[in-house]
Structures are given as C-alpha cells and as structure tokens.
Structure 1
C-alpha cells in the first residue's frame, strides 16, 4: 500500500557503489513543493529514509542495458568478506524504505550486508520499456546486483517482491543461496479470481485497491491487509497519503498487475532447488492461506503466522 517517490525530484548522478567515494545526496536535501513540508506522509517518508542512512546504507543508481535505472540501498562502507549479502524485495504497495526500515538493524547486527532495491516503477527505479512481467523485474534486479558486485546472496521477498524473488531463484540458481517468501501467492492461477478465492473478482477491482486513487479504496485495502485495522482513518490523512505515494506510475503499476495474473497457471511455475522458507499469515486476505498449502506440495518448509518474523529470517539465512 505504501509506495511512490516524490514528484519534481532531481535525479542524482548514476554511480557504482564499488567506485564511488561520496554517497548520493539524500532526497531530503533536494527542493520540494512547499505544500509537502506540511505533509504527514512526506514527514514519515523522510523518517524511513533516515532510518536507512542511520543504519549504514546509502542510495545508489544502476543504469541497465535497456535504458532502465534501478535504485538500490547498498552498504555505505566496504565490509569484510565474512559478512553475508542479503537482498530484500518489497511488496506491491511499498517502496523499499517503507517496507523494510523496521528490519534493518536486527539483520545488520546478525552479520548481513543488506541490498534493498526499489523494483521498477516503484520508488526511484524506472524503465522506458514496455516489459511488465515478474521475469523482467527479476532480470533487471539481477543485472543491477551484478553491477553492485554480488555473485551470490540470500534473498527475502514479500508479496509482489516474493514473485520477483522466486523468478530470480529460478533464473539464477547459482546466485541465490537461500530464499524466503513472505505472503506471496506465486502459485496462484488466473482462474482463482473468477472462482472466488480472492476478496476481488477481477483485475480491475484488484488494481483499484492496490493502486488506490480514492480514500475508500485505501480504507478497503487497509481492511484486507491489516489483521486489526485502525478504527478511524481521517479522509484528510488518506488524501495526503494518496497525493504523495500513489499518483506516480499508476498506468505502469496497473500493467504490472495484469502481466502478473493474465494467463498464469500453477503448472507453469518453474521448479527451484534452493532451500526455501515460506512465511504466511493465517488471516491473510490478500493471498489466502490455500495458496500457501499449494506451495507446500513443492515440499518447501512452511511456517504459518509467525510473530517476530525477523528472528526467524535471521536463523534461516544466517548460514548463507
């Protein structure tokens, strides 16, 4: 639900983190419209970004061969080779900072070097091409990670990020050591929409919720994604959130949804060999628990309804 970079932002110069001597300027130092200084959402966005910089990460931009640009938060300082690389992929409703800021310090203390991309059309990542599939996202992320100097790593993907992480594991089995999928219905089929498995019955309804443009859409999305949604959601705050986070790349994000679902069949899901952990909420209304049980057929390790998930993730991937 949380997503979108601020408009009218000056793009920093492309750099390679292995050769750069100075971090890219934080966007908080760049000019923004006066109205955004009074925005609750903008203030929260700045706090999330600062949690990344204070944890020792900095933003870097990686130009790709097809003209796309992938933005990744990378370690600010070189680390010993003994530290393990862990890639975190955000969900459909969030840019990297909003999704992962609470998990940074526990994972860093556990000995990980974190690489946290904005997927294409989210946050500060962009692409001029017409490609919208999760396979395209996977290839783009891998190209950028290779430019960042990574040749093997562990990976965690939540929701839409789980779809992309699964494809990376399938396409690059020698690069991904271990995989964690969090509430990602990678085994869904297009026919599941019509059969009533989901809270929505067609793609248009799904897009109106996942790319919300009206306050009622946000309220409905919160009811679906929170086990205990807030009892009061003032319209003024919702409109502020939509204006700051949900007004860019609306067309492209909607196309990502259609590309993800149209013609999808469980039988076409590629098999992966990496040791994989699935974390799922037993009250998940976006991707129902039945999808978790489908994946269990593939003999993954399944954990349902985990509290303090980051502890579980650390214990699972710490041998990477």
Structure 2
C-alpha cells in the first residue's frame, strides 16, 4: 500500500524555503573531535549588522522553532545564525559527552569558524541551558543573552519535591521525546496555555515518524545528563546583561524557576512574564516575544556604520514596528544595557 504524503515532511521542506528566502544558507562545520554542527547563516554577512545566535530547545529542529522570527529580526537589522544542536536536525557528534557545556563549546567553535567573534544569544528551554553556558564560558564572545523558559536553576531534588509534573528523568524523557501519539498529545497540552482542541492521532503519528525517531538514545542521555546531580550552588553567575522571559502558565519549567534565576543573577537581569502563555511561549506569543528581543538587543546597539540609521532613528523604527509607545516599552525593559569591553576570542 502506498504511503500517504507526509504533511510533516512537506512542512519541513517549506521551512527550508523560508530560510533560503530570508537570505540564509545551510552549512556544516566539522570540528576537531569529529562533531558536525549544522546551522543556517547569512549568505552575505554584513559586519555592520549585529550577529544574533538563535538556539532552539527540545523539538523537531531549529527551523520549526525559529522560522517565524526570521523576517522581523532581519528587518530589525540582525545577521542571524540558527544552528541545530547536537543530535537535532543535521548536527551530530561521535563522542559520549552529553552535557550542555559540550553543546556550548561546539556552538562557540562553529561561530568562530564562521568568523563571528562577538554576538548576542537567544535560547529557548534547553537551548537556554546552552546559551547560559556559552555566556559563562565565553564572556568575551557573548555580549548579552535572552533566556526563554530556560530552567537553568533546576536542581535534581526538585523532581522529588514535586515541582514538576514528573518525578524522575525517565518520565521526563518519555514526554519530551514522544514515541506515541498519546505522549505527543500530553506534551502539547503541557507546553501550550491554549492547546489545539482537535489533535488527530494520524497527524501525531506522522510527526513522530518524521521528527521524533532520530537519535532517541542520545537525546535521552542529554536529558539525564542535564538533571543528574544538578545543584544551584554549582551554577556560575554570568555577568552579561540578561533578559529572562517566561510564560506565566509554564507547566514544563514552572515560573518559580524564572524567579529563582533572576535572584541568582540579581542586578544583571530582568524577568519578563508573558501572560496567557505556557512553555511554548515562542510559538504562542511570537510577536510579543520578538518585540522584547528586538528592544533588548537594539536599544543600545554598539554597532554603527555609515549605511545604518542613527541610534535615534533606529530606535523610533523599532518602537513603531513593535507597536509600543516609548513609555510602555521603557517601563517593560529598564535593562542593564551598558556597553562591554571585548577581549580576545577564547580558544575552543
């Protein structure tokens, strides 16, 4: 019997066209230990445009989580770099290391190969764990960071204490790496504040077949390594200005972790809570989230060029695009936007 056309595979190809149309090209960077980092990069990088690294979380791949952000962020003047984390999409590694530290080191190395020596970083959920490590390990490269529903302050004991809907890493993996329609349905309901009312099993089976069957063992190890023996006291304090964004109704990483992270970073951070949004705030409230990203990175951009707009003009365009008054935007983001002094690129 001939298999029906896969809607998931078709949509994945459509995302390819979206990235190509946005002026990005796919590239594979092979690192010294044999790891391969696949990422989308500008076809013609412009040194006058601030580079922005977008790191996805657990899910299909980078395209599915960031496709809707390309146009507005490009219009705001960014050069975008959108990688697949190891064991997602086209990225892989032969070694046994499954830590977010190793993920961070590989992404930093790939950015260095691409010739990007300093940049901003945005990380969603697990991607926020990696973004945080990059900021801690390479402070001369990461200028500032946005962490979206990233429970980097989680402790292993939080599972047993009942902070989450699961109480052990195996249960977490069964939800985050769904292999059956009922598990994917559970993930959707946990991730979205307002999940779709109709979720046909046939569509879920198609999605699982196309997007959820590769590197299951390696991804399970990523989850176990992320949680095992994790303590807040071991988490370094990053010094870059950091914007923490959280969905108010997050059931995967409860909002308490956002407050915990803000207390950990203190004056270097600000927490923004988006109402009527869950863990998948990047999908449920993409416009509002994009406005916060734009304002945070561009309000005091250190980049200047004769072909760019002046700071005052650029700021007015940002505010007009976002649909926010200056007073409203300023009240939301009184951020620590002081300029940084850069030192040499770290060896990776």
TM-score range, shorter chain: 0.7 to 0.9
| Aligned mate of 1:177, from 126, 137, 143 | 143
The equivalent residue for 2:271 is 302
Confirm whether residue 233 of structure 1 aligns to residue 224 of structure 2.
no
What is the distance in 2 between the residues matched to 1:221 and 1:184? Answer: 17
User: Is the 2:60–2:212 contact (alpha carbons within 8 Å) kept by the matching residues of 1?
Assistant: no
Confirm whether residue 105 of structure 1 aligns to residue 74 of structure 2.
no
CA-CA distance at 1:78 after TM superposition:
3.3
The equivalent residue for 2:13 is 46
Q: Residue deviations 1:126-166, cap 9 Å, x none?
A: 11100000000000111111001011000000000000000
The equivalent residue for 2:213 is 247
The equivalent residue for 1:28 is none
Q: Residue deviations 1:225-256, cap 9 Å, x none?
A: 01111112111111100000000000000000
> Within 5 A, what are the aligned runs for 1:203-242?
203-242=169-208
CA-CA distance at 1:77 after TM superposition:
1.6
Q: Residue deviations 1:258-311, cap 9 Å, x none?
A: 000000001110111100000001100000000011011121111111651101
What is the distance in 1 between the residues matched to 2:254 and 2:160? Answer: 14
What is the distance in 2 between the residues matched to 1:134 and 1:231? Answer: 35
What is the distance in 2 between the residues matched to 1:257 and 1:145? Answer: 25
The equivalent residue for 1:22 is none
The equivalent residue for 1:86 is 52
What is the distance in 2 between the residues matched to 1:289 and 1:158? Answer: 14
Relative contact order, higher structure (CA 8 A, sep 6+): 1
What is the distance in 2 between the residues matched to 1:150 and 1:94? Answer: 26
What is the distance in 1 between the residues matched to 2:272 and 2:17? Answer: 32
What is the distance in 1 between the residues matched to 2:48 and 2:20? Answer: 22
User: Is the 2:100–2:133 contact (alpha carbons within 8 Å) kept by the matching residues of 1?
Assistant: yes
CA-CA distance at 1:316 after TM superposition:
0.4
* Residue aligned with 1:111, SS: coil
What is the distance in 1 between the residues matched to 2:253 and 2:138? Answer: 26
User: Is the 2:45–2:79 contact (alpha carbons within 8 Å) kept by the matching residues of 1?
Assistant: no
Give structure 1 regions of 4+ aligned residues with deviation exceeding 2 angstroms: none
CA-CA distance at 1:168 after TM superposition:
0.2
CA-CA distance at 1:94 after TM superposition:
3.3
TM-score by length of 1: 0.87
What is the distance in 1 between the residues matched to 2:208 and 2:247? Answer: 26
> Within 5 A, what are the aligned runs for 1:155-174?
155-174=121-140
Task: Name the structure where helix makes up a greater proportion of residues.
Answer: 2
The equivalent residue for 1:74 is 41
Confirm whether residue 268 of structure 1 aligns to residue 218 of structure 2.
no
| Aligned mate of 2:111, from 145, 157, 160 | 145
Confirm whether residue 311 of structure 1 aligns to residue 291 of structure 2.
yes
CA-CA distance at 1:202 after TM superposition:
1.0
What is the distance in 1 between the residues matched to 2:12 and 2:170? Answer: 28
Unaligned runs of 5+ in 1: 1-33
